[in-house]
Structure 1
């Protein structure tokens, strides 16, 4: 199946977006700002998050309405539920507890789009994925891949907090289901690979995928690793990668019959192998 590219210069230009969406049955809205860029003042950064994550989502929904689309799939974030779990999984029934500008504006977008679509014929589906990994992934996971590829010893053997993730292939499959399945209309779902994994096991799979299964893994006390991360200015990153965040995605599977097509272990090793191949290519 071919892909037709319809560029739009400004996501808040409703008229231009509506023209681009003509003939579409559904819209999957993925565009977002996820990070503070450089040394932005906090207020400027917050305004930028609001423009990208709230105003643009609302404009896209308005354009989809004008174009006669039947369904709008809004990709939000598990951060709307919160930053961490404590022995229990996040579910769709949790009270929202976003902590950072990205998650806060994602929750605002969910609310704004839902309010706009009340009384219209266009169906809304909201999905909240956790951290997405896959070949070429950016952000914290890319930095983690870099660590695993370079360190002579992997000091993460004692990090046993479990987290949920979703691979890019599984996310694409889930979004296709959310776009087409009739039972998804008007619902909000949490997504994941359906498996939780502790950090030590995650690192071991990434190392195996890079061909580094022989690298020693030491069980350095978590408090020491946290202290080192704090000294390096990476305390928040350490918490996001190593703290507990577990997602219950059964509601989506039960509603649609969907199952992740790629196992977590296979997806992680594929991601690591792609990182290694990219690094080798740069050396040529």
Structure 2
């Protein structure tokens, strides 16, 4: 039996990891919550830790734990209101994470799996020139910087202790229950809203929630995962236009995409103060997962079309 401590269990990715682990008899799962659920799931241990802070005490939560899966953290914020966002990200994502990891090493935890972000690599690629796990990191925003600093601190800790560290950098994650821009796009398509996004020729990597969870669970036990950094995607890169057409098909709706040129979209977005949004819609961000597939003998469990069908079905039912 493998006893797993899971942080971020109430989040989009963490909840899916929890459900997958509970489906296997060999895992004993202990999930951390800020506020304990009123009706925890069968076979699930729960414990309360007020937050991911530099002074948090994890000793009781870490008793007899073999593997930590750390999904909690301060996430990327579109409308940042903090005066010093980098300091806030560092307090939670760096010092809070290191506090958990140091206490995990002291408690004899065998492996620490850290859910990082592709933002450690950067904000975009040229088409056909994907990021790799061995690239020199080049984060741009405070969130990406904090994730890189946490990675570096964890790898230093692994070098000084017996605890192994596994770092996973996902690209944009989608699946049942997805929110933010991905859900907004499904809403537009479902309502038949014409979108000026029919002529975008970028390339972007995505990762289905099922595929990310599958990799995380594999990393709890695969010997070759120790002290490695992995990028993860569906291994099927799409343009924004291609993604929207596949999404519309999964929703059973026509894709009303107007072929506006990309230069015009970028110009309008610049005028409206939406440069970051235009970068996500028109820019490329690809990742190369050859290392992940070769070292772990892993392949994505579900295709983009299959994952979009599951995502659309959940969206329509909700």
TM norm. shorter chain > 0.5: yes
- 58-67 or 169-178: which moved more? 58-67
User: Is 1:188 aligned with 2:229?
Assistant: yes
Q: Which of 266, 274, 277 matches 2:317?
A: 277
SS of 1:180's partner is coil
Distance in 2 (alpha carbons) for counterparts of 1:13 and 1:48: 11
Distance in 1 (alpha carbons) for counterparts of 2:131 and 2:79: 32
Q: Which of 216, 220, 226 matches 1:179?
A: 220
Runs of 4+ more than 4 Å apart: none
- 173-182 or 214-223: which moved more? 214-223
What is the aligned partner in structure 1 of residue 94 from structure 2? 54
Distance in 1 (alpha carbons) for counterparts of 2:78 and 2:126: 31
User: Is 1:25 aligned with 2:25?
Assistant: no
Whether the 8 Å contact between 2:56 and 2:99 is mirrored in structure 1 is no
- Higher RCO by CA contacts (8 Å cutoff, separation 6 or greater): 1
What is the aligned partner in structure 2 of residue 235 from structure 1? 275
SS of 2:89's partner is helix
Distance in 2 (alpha carbons) for counterparts of 1:215 and 1:260: 27
What is the aligned partner in structure 2 of residue 95 from structure 1? 136
What is the aligned partner in structure 1 of residue 113 from structure 2? 73
Closer, same or farther in 2 for the Cα pair 1:258/1:102, shift >3 Å?
A: same
Whether the 8 Å contact between 1:15 and 1:63 is mirrored in structure 2 is no
SS of 1:144's partner is helix
What are the residue-to-residue correspondences of 1:118-267 with 2, within 5 Å? 118-212=159-253, 214-267=254-307
Distance in 2 (alpha carbons) for counterparts of 1:15 and 1:238: 39
Cα displacement (A) at 1:39: 5.6
Cα displacement (A) at 1:108: 0.6
Whichever structure has more helix as a proportion of its residues is 1
Whether the 8 Å contact between 1:83 and 1:240 is mirrored in structure 2 is no
- 131-140 or 90-99: which moved more? 131-140
TM-score (norm 2): 0.81
Distance in 1 (alpha carbons) for counterparts of 2:282 and 2:303: 21
Whether the 8 Å contact between 2:189 and 2:255 is mirrored in structure 1 is no
Cα offsets for 1:93-135 (capped at 9, x unmatched): 2111000111110001001121223221100111111111111
Whichever structure has more strand as a proportion of its residues is 2
Distance in 2 (alpha carbons) for counterparts of 1:168 and 1:240: 19
Aligned length: 276
TM-score (norm 1): 0.90
Whether the 8 Å contact between 1:14 and 1:60 is mirrored in structure 2 is no
What is the aligned partner in structure 2 of residue 4 from structure 1? 45
- 245-254 or 48-57: which moved more? 48-57
Cα offsets for 1:59-93 (capped at 9, x unmatched): 11112112211001111111111111113111112
Unaligned runs of 5+ in 1: 279-284
Closer, same or farther in 2 for the Cα pair 1:58/1:264, shift >3 Å?
A: same
